């Protein structure tokens, strides 16, 4: 996509609607981070794109009907999510990272743009250049040593075809589930005008106990790891040039086939992640020089804490478990079974105490050790129900997790057809994604 193919029409600052939040569970003007949040303090942001197809969509309909409804609904949504209209900064008394909000300057910047690109080529599963998605995300996501935006949004018109909504969210403020819930809340308020109780966000931080002050431990670790700057500036993770993006779909029946190939009872999640892990290792071939290979699995802890916290808690509440096995084991004929066993072993300890030893999750030593290893990670989740984000003009035609081209993760998403399948987002170089595609489809025969 040429750089001039997307034209910015305007940037609007949308403030929370002028009334008290109908579900305010927090007081004051600073919302502290928890240790779950501090773990992601300097990680690159989460970035998603939602494509909505509307045939023969004109600029006038977009400007006079769609955009005003989106702006009004966003303002209403911020009544429920007031911290998202603020900024991440340092608390003046505690010195810890916190979100400052409830100021006269509150608001989310919404970029409105128009694209001359082919809507259908961008919103299909077909392999395409990864960088083509970047101009559909707001560039107005500013982070400095002492202040960072929480979220920025962009709505892009594709005349005659539809529009896209892209968000960039600070990972120390929102985990994937929280960011997805925000988008679906915005969609619900735009489409229906109200939120059901299960979608009403809970912002109270007292649910997360931290007697060891792990938040401070993690914050200090980030400062020790910094090569330049010790504030809120994010890690530099730039995509390699020439990367391609593709979506690979698995039907409910295909997932059942994968499960049948694995000895023992496994979940669809384990079967799919085992399969993608083995396909990636085979596609990378001789480029993996390490003896071992790892898969980082992020598990939602809301229902696993003691006592459990509300499912609609907004913030980070994720624990990572790391599956490990040998490269040669995944390349062999029993690779799928080996991968599944490694994943089951990694997540097996969760029920026994999800935050046990949490103070050791992140340290300078562990960060340096894993920096030299071959690690795959997983972004998104089919449980987020991303295709349920209907703003009133129908379900998304396509949902893309854009940030995987920086993080090196593969993404998981629910099935756009709502048939119980799964969509997997992959970003690799041209020869590797072609090899991956061949291996992926061959293994399903």
Provide the token pair at 49: 């794109």
Q: Rounded to whole angstroms, how far apart are CA atoms 180 and 48?
A: 9
Q: Where are the beta strands (DSSP E) in 79-236?
A: 87-90, 97-100, 108-115, 128-129, 148-149, 151-158, 162-169
Please identify which of the residues 29, 118, 390, 415 carries the catalytic annotation: 390
Cα(223)–Cα(96) distance, rounded to whole angstroms?
Answer: 12
* Among 106, 134, 171, 414, the one annotated catalytic: 171
User: CB–CB of 422/414 below 8 Å?
Assistant: yes
d(CA 133, CA 182): 21
Q: Is 238 exposed, middle or buried (0-12, 13-18, 19+ CB in 10 A)?
A: exposed
Which tokens in the block code for residue 184?
Answer: 């679906």
Alpha-carbon distances of 384 from 183, 190, 285, 412, rounded to whole Å: 11, 19, 32, 10
Residue with tokens 């109780």: 197
171 catalytic? Reply is yes
Q: What is the 3-state secondary structure (H, E, C) of 425-439?
A: EEEECHHHHHHHHHH
| H or E element, residue 283 | helix 268-284
DSSP 394-430: -S-SEEEETTHHHH--EEEEE-TT-SS-EEEEEEE-H
> Residue 7 corresponds to which tokens in the numbers above?
């034209």
Helical H runs in 100-251?
A: 119-122, 176-191, 214-225
3-state secondary structure of 362: coil
Q: Which helix (DSSP H) or strand (DSSP E) does residue 247 occupy?
A: strand 244-250
Q: Which two tokens stand for residue 154?
A: 């962009």
Distance CA 404, CA 410 (A): 6
Whole-number Å distance between alpha carbons of 110 and 14: 7
Q: Is 72 a catalytic residue?
A: no
Sheet holding 148-149, edge to edge: 30-32, 97-100, 87-90, 148-149
- Name the CA dihedral angle for 4, 134, 109, 300, rounded to a multiple of 10 degrees: 170
Catalytic machinery residues: 171, 390
């Amino acid at each position: 996509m040429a750089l001039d193919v997307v034209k910015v029409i305007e940037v609007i600052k949308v403030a929370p609607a002028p009334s008290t939040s109908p579900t305010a569970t927090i007081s004051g003007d600073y919302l502290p981070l928890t240790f779950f949040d501090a773990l992601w303090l300097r990680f690159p942001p989460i970035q998603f794109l939602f494509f909505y197809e509307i045939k023969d969509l004109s600029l006038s309909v977009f400007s006079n009907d769609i955009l005003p409804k989106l702006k009004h609904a966003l303002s209403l949504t911020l009544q429920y999510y007031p911290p998202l209209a603020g900024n991440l900064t340092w608390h003046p008394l505690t010195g810890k990272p916190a979100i400052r909000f409830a100021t006269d300057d509150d608001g989310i910047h919404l970029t409105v743009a128009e694209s001359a690109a082919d809507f259908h080529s961008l919103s299909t599963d077909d392999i395409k250049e990864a960088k083509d998605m970047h101009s559909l995300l707001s560039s107005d996501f500013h982070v400095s040593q002492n202040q960072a935006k929480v979220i920025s949004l962009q709505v892009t018109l594709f005349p005659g075809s539809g529009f896209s909504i892209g968000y960039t969210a600070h990972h120390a403020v929102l985990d994937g589930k929280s960011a997805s819930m925000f988008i679906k809340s915005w969609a619900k308020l735009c489409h229906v005008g109200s939120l059901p109780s299960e979608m009403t966000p809970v912002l109270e931080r007292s649910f997360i106990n931290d007697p060891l002050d792990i938040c401070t431990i993690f914050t200090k670790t980030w400062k020790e790891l910094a090569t330049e700057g010790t504030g809120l500036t994010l890690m530099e993770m730039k995509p390699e040039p020439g990367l391609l993006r593709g979506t690979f779909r698995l039907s409910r029946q295909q997932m059942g086939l994968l499960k049948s190939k694995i000895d023992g009872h496994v979940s669809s999640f384990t079967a799919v992640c085992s399969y993608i892990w083995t396909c990636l290792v085979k596609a990378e071939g001789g480029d993996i020089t390490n003896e071992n290979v790892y898969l980082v699995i992020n598990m939602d802890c809301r229902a696993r804490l003691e006592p459990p916290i509300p499912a609609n808690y907004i913030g980070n509440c994720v624990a990572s478990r790391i599956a490990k096995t040998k490269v040669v084991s995944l390349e062999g004929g029993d690779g799928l079974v080996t991968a599944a066993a490694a994943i089951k072993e990694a997540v097996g300890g969760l029920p026994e105490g999800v935050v046990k030893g949490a103070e050791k999750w992140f340290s300078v030593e562990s960060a340096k050790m894993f920096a030299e290893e071959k690690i795959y990670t997983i972004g998104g989740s089919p449980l987020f129900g991303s295709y349920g984000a209907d703003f009133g003009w129908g379900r998304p035609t396509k949902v893309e997790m854009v940030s995987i081209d920086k993080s090196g993760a593969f993404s998981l998403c629910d099935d756009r057809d709502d048939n119980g399948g799964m969509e997997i987002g992959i970003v690799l170089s041209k020869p590797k994604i072609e090899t991956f595609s061949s291996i992926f489809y061959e293994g399903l025969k």
